[in-house]
């Protein structure tokens, strides 16, 4: 049974983060409620976790994790190890690299790590482009 839910997650996010990170977190959660095929809340005691999963031919796969301490984990390397269509993953990586001006190749990004949202998102446009990227990935995985 999940310890966390949307309300407790947002409450903890407000306690731990600045106003801008909370605003971004709300946008991501609202988007996730609409787009995710399986949105789950964590059971941990230190901080809340939200996992965005998407249906695919190989079952539900996690796309990202959001923590109530204001960090996000993009599951790029995890997805590299799955039997996903190459073009779906490539499209996602190219768009994320363009949006965040960060390399996500296996050499420069060898492990999936939790990154503070305030280091990743600097503009409203970046948040919107991130959400559009995830939306496109979801659409292509469901085909």
Statement: residue 2 has pLDDT above 90 = no
Q: What confidence score (pLDDT) does residue 143 get?
A: 76
Burial 56-95 (b: 16+ CB within 10 A, else e): beeeebbbbbbbbbbbbbbbbeebeeeebeeebbeebbeb
Tens of pLDDT, residue by residue over 60-69, are 999 999 999 9
pTM of the predicted structure, to 2 decimals: 0.92
CA 2, 42, 127, 63 dihedral sign is: negative
Contact at 8 Å (CB) between 129 and 120? no
Percent of the chain whose predicted confidence (pLDDT) is above 90: 85
Listed by start position, the domains of the chain span 6-142
Contact at 8 Å (CB) between 46 and 60? no
């Amino acid at each position: 049974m999940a310890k966390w839910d949307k309300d407790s997650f947002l409450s903890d996010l407000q306690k731990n983060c600045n106003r801008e990170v909370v605003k971004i977190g709300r946008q991501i959660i609202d988007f996730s409620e609409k787009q995710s095929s399986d949105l789950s809340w964590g059971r941990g005691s230190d901080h809340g976790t939200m996992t965005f999963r998407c249906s695919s031919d190989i079952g539900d796969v996690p796309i990202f994790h959001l923590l109530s301490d204001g960090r996000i984990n993009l599951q790029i390397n995890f997805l590299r190890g799955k039997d996903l269509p190459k073009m779906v993953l490539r499209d996602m990586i190219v768009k994320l690299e363009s949006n965040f001006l960060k390399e996500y190749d296996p050499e420069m990004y060898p492990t999936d790590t939790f990154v503070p949202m305030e280091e990743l998102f600097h503009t409203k446009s970046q948040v919107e482009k991130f959400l559009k990227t995830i939306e496109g990935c979801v659409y292509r995985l469901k085909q």
